[in-house]
Amino acid sequence: MSRKSLLKSESAAAIAIAAVLLLGLAFTIISVVKLNHAPEWKIDAERDYSYDAWGNMEDVKTRIDLFTRFMDSNSNYSGYGLSATVPFSMGGGDVPVFEPSKSNSKLSVNNEEYTMNITLANHSFSHKIDCGGVTYYSENRQYPDQVFRYENGALIMAQGESSQMKRKPSFDIQKTDNENYAITINAINLTGETTSVSSSNLAALRLTGCSTNPILNSSTDYLNESINSFNLSICTRYTDAWATYLNDTAKEAGLEYDTDYKIIYPDSGCVCLSFLPTGNNYSIYINKTIIGAELGTGSCMGIGETSDSEPDKDEDESGSGLTHGKRIILNKKEIGGIIPSGTYIQFKNNGKNNDYWVEIDGSQKKLKKDDIVKLVIDGDQTSGTANMNSNTISNFNFNVKMYIGNKLEDQGKVTKISVINYSNYESTLTYKLPSFLSYTQLQVDGVTLINLLPANDSTINLYNIGPSTTNNNNLTITFNASSAYFDCSADYEIINS
């Protein structure tokens, strides 16, 4: 009996010792991975998160450039409220299990100085423009911190004291003939309160096209006097980026440094491109585009979130009430419009596993039963088509980010889509048609609000676009730069010019 008891004791002790050794080995492996590999994974994750933030800043520039082109194309533009919301993913860089905490970041509007001053040396003209800007600051734990800055049409990346201009502003120097140069400057003035938000969640930046105003046209303002020298001064935190850009632009136009121009630093935090009086004549064209910028954390819904408001109680961006149309027919000739980035459609796939699919850039993603599919417009769309009815989605030809559940599955152009049994349709899909004098037909629930003749120049905006319940749940969208046709349900507004 004592021998059996001893054997049992030794067996139990062996099991306990083996368990302790295995547990120790597991802790050792985890410690080694956490010390040697997790920091590298953290760096990679924070770098990827920085790429996403840079993409958000590129979206800011793209939208402002688009608004500027729209406003410049219409000489009678008086502010039709073209707007878009740019979502920012503020948190990132987490490594599951080993480094689950997210890095923070900070997004600010108009918190850093940027002013541009144009002075004609041989004239009394001097004009100063406060441009403002949008700044993104990373607050990484492993990957080096970076600053992404949009100011006056330029996109700048800074790290420490060094800065580089990655996307160029609207500033052009062209040699027209011997010793004559045309200089075009489009200043971007971001208006709005000085605000900032630090977060590891979502934030949003709302941009609105306000107006475009001529500042100087030397061909008409100085008909009898030539301009042979002038100074363009910029006060900014990122002087090295602007100095490099201004110097390269002047050189590319054929101007010679220290003979035709030079770069000087008149004050701390300022850089000046000075055109010297060497016999050259300059024609100068300066416009100022005013863009409203508003920062918030609640104005952008997260993936998988939906609005609780009823469609007929929604409000437009200016605060006016919208009207819901069960069937809207919009037919506009000679001009298109945009479907803004960030708006979406969402539906639930009721078909069997792998029966239906979405094809993006030729790559097909099979859908499973009960998948929640969200197609988020990726970049403002100026052309596209869509077709659906009560149980079929056969066309949604736009650039999108496709989420299934809360996971980003793919992004690109929807080249084909086949969904023949769906439900739980939701939409924030928006269409904005700027003011333009052309033939317009707008019919809401059988009532004609605008006839094709006479020509009409009202702004027309559609929100929460979906299939028409009074037209067999059909939806048809076809639009490009020269025409627009919508047959759908939506909340709408008409803004008279």
My answer on whether 334 and 224 are in the same domain is no
pLDDT top residue among 241 and 83? 241
Q: Between β-strands 281-296 and 180-191, what pairing exists: parallel, antiparallel or unpaired? A: parallel
pLDDT over 70, % of the chain = 81
Helical (H) or strand (E) element with 51: helix 38-72
My answer on whether 395 and 268 are in the same domain is no
My answer on whether 348 and 426 are in the same domain is yes
Strand partners, 127: 118
pLDDT of residue 331: 92
pLDDT over 90, % of the chain = 39
Give the Cβ contact number of residue 288 at 10 Å: 19
pLDDT of residue 9: 63
My answer on whether 441 and 350 are in the same domain is yes
Q: In 3-state terms, the chain is what percent helix, strand and coil (to 5)?
A: 20, 50, 35
Q: How far is CA 367 from CA 147, 360, 416, 483, in A?
A: 40, 13, 13, 34
Give the three-state DSSP class for 60: helix
Show which of 272, 295, 318 is a domain's final residue.
295
My answer on whether 141 and 14 are in the same domain is no
My answer on whether 228 and 319 are in the same domain is no
My answer on whether 6 and 101 are in the same domain is no
Whether pLDDT at 416 is above 90: yes
pLDDT top residue among 52 and 303? 52
pLDDT of residue 75: 53
Q: How far is CA 222 from the centre of its chain?
A: 39
Indicate whether this model's pTM tops 0.75. no
CB 82 within 8 A of CB 208: yes
| Domain containing residue 159 | 39-295
Helical (H) or strand (E) element with 347: strand 344-349
Show which of 279, 295, 311 is a domain's final residue.
295
Task: Round to whole Å and give the CA distance between 468 and 449.
Answer: 18
My answer on whether 26 and 110 are in the same domain is no
My answer on whether 307 and 286 are in the same domain is no
pLDDT tens, residue by residue, 145-163? 889 999 999 999 998 889 9
pLDDT of residue 307: 32
- CA angle, 120 as apex, 115 and 121 as ends, to 5°? 115
Show which of 270, 295, 320 is a domain's final residue.
295
DSSP code string of 100-117: -PPBEEEEEES-S--EEE
Strands of 47-201, DSSP E? 83-89, 104-109, 115-120, 126-130, 134-139, 147-151, 154-159, 162-167, 171-177, 180-191, 195-199
My answer on whether 318 and 221 are in the same domain is no
My answer on whether 32 and 45 are in the same domain is no
Number of folded domains that form the chain: 3
CB 365 within 8 A of CB 409: yes
Instruction: Tell me the one-letter amino acid at 238.
Output: Y
My answer on whether 233 and 339 are in the same domain is no
Segment 350-355 mean pLDDT: 86
